[in-house]
């Protein structure tokens, strides 16, 4: 699976949009971009994923560049409860290679 690069940390003000970047310059054409987060020591929580097109759900938006070498996760109105470690993962969706490879992620701190 391709490797991802994320800044170690960032912060944003409550109520503002949080834009979390991720570089995946070696991504292959059949690899998906997944985002998970882990709040304190809870189980990782799925946020969103995409292949080529931008995606939006009730939690966030995922913007993937046209060359697919980077993406941005957008939390439109960050709250204190969004403080967590966010993981960007790229993965081929084939049966034997279904494991998720977690990096260090980016620690998002939402300040009041």
Partner 1 sequence: NAGVMQNPRHLVRRRGQEARLRCSPMKGHSHVYWYRQLPEEGLKFMVYLQKENIIDESGMPKERFSAEFPKEGPSILRIQQVVRGDSAAYFCASSLHLQGAGETQYFGPGTRLLVL
Query: Of 44, 59, 72, 107, which one interacts with partner 1 (CB under 8 A)?
Result: 44
Q: Which stretch binds partner 1 (CB under 8 A): 6-14, 62-70, 71-79, 100-108?
A: 100-108
CA distances from 104 to 53, 54, 57, 99 (A): 25, 24, 24, 16
C-alpha span between 64 and 72 (Å, rounded) = 7
Sign, Cα dihedral of 92, 36, 43, 40: positive
3-class secondary structure, 60: coil
Determine, following the binding rule CB under 8 A, whether residue 9 of this chain makes contact with partner 1: no
* Minimum CB–partner distance for residue 16 and partner 1 (Å): 28
Determine, following the binding rule CB under 8 A, whether residue 16 of this chain makes contact with partner 1: no
Q: Which stretch binds partner 1 (CB under 8 A): 4-12, 14-22, 34-42, 69-77?
A: 34-42
# of chain residues touching partner 1 (CB under 8 A): 25
């Amino acid at each position: 699976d391709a490797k991802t690069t994320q800044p170690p940390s960032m912060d944003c003000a409550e109520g503002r949009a949080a834009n979390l970047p991720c570089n995946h310059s070696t991504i292959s054409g059949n690899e998906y971009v997944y985002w998970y987060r882990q709040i304190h020591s809870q189980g990782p929580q799925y946020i969103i994923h995409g292949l080529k097109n931008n995606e939006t759900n009730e939690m966030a938006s995922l913007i993937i560049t046209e060359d697919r070498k980077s993406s941005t996760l957008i939390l439109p109105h960050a709250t204190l409860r969004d403080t967590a470690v966010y993981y960007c993962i790229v993965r081929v969706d084939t049966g034997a290679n279904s494991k998720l490879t977690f990096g260090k992620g980016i620690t998002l701190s939402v300040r009041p």
